[in-house]
Amino acid sequence: MTKREKLWQKAKDSPENLTFDELETLLSQNGWEFSRQRGSHRLWYSPKGNPLPIQPRKDGKAKLYQIQQFFEYQEGEEE
């Protein structure tokens, strides 16, 4: 299993343990483009142009609802 596949599996199996940096890695690996940052808020766009604003939790982890939004967008883009 490649690092990319392992990261995808980690995000699916235990999203509450995914770090913010790992979420950004997932986004870039799947064709999302970083647009801008204002304060802690970072704006990413999917390959089809859907925006996904994300910001880290205070402990450096990714917010669960933002990971879920990523998977919803990603599944919608593949259809």
Taken in order of first residue, the domains within the chain and their CATH numbers are 16-73 (3.30.920)
pTM of the model: 0.92
Strands, DSSP E only, in the chain? 33-38, 41-45, 51-54
Q: What is the pLDDT of residues 29-78, one digit of tens each?
A: 999 999 999 999 999 999 999 999 999 999 999 999 999 999 999 988 77
Residue 76 has what pLDDT?
85
Characterize 56-72 residue by residue with b for buried, 16 or more Cβ atoms within 10 angstroms of its Cβ, and e for exposed: beeeebbbeebbeebee
Confidence check: pLDDT of 79 > 80: no
CA–CA dist 68, 62 (Å, integer): 11
